[in-house]
Amino acid sequence: MVLGVGALLFLSYCTEPKTQKETNRIKYAFFVAGHTYGNPMHDQLGLYPPFKNRINQINKTPKIELGIFTGDVVKKPSPDYWQAALDDINLFNVPIHIAKGNHDGTQIFDSIFNQTYYAFNHQNDLFIIP
């Protein structure tokens, strides 16, 4: 599902289950979002507004248990940009894992997140965050 120039959201299942039987077969769901600062031509703090507007929908989607940001969370690696993004990320009601992108700034990213390369298991599935 493309949200607009520069932001992408992918749900691990692409269509909403239509029957209870289909819903019961889904073990869990997660979302992957990249380049969430949005359009490089605009300079707003926080997450890209069309993506941020989907947070409530994501929070209400059954079985979503985690989210992964694939980098470029902020346009500029500054405390103001990061604080605004983190304020938006805190609106999610599931754990969020963030990989560092080239816009995110090594020094500030490393100071915010203690682990910048790690792996975790979720329901016997291995996730690697580079």
Task: From first to last of the 130 residues of the chain, give the pLDDT tens digit.
Answer: 334 334 455 554 445 566 767 666 778 889 999 999 998 888 899 999 999 999 999 999 888 999 999 999 999 999 999 999 999 999 999 999 999 999 999 999 999 998 889 999 999 899 999 9
- Regarding the domain with residue range 2-10+26-129, which homologous superfamily does it belong to in the CATH classification? GpdQ, catalytic alpha/beta sandwich domain (3.60.21.40)
Selection from 24, 23, 27, 7 nearest residue 15 by Cα: 23
What gap in Å lies between CA 6 and CA 48, rounded to an integer? 9
The helices-and-strands tally (H runs, E runs) of the chain is 5, 7
Cβ–Cβ < 8 Å for 7, 43: no
Q: Tell me if 50 sits within 8 A of 7, measured CB to CB.
A: yes
Full-model pTM: 0.82
Q: What angle do CA 85, 93, 54 make, to 5 degrees?
A: 60
Q: Answer whether 113's CB lies under 8 Å from 89's CB.
A: no
Residue 31 in contact with residue 55, Cβ under 8 Å? no
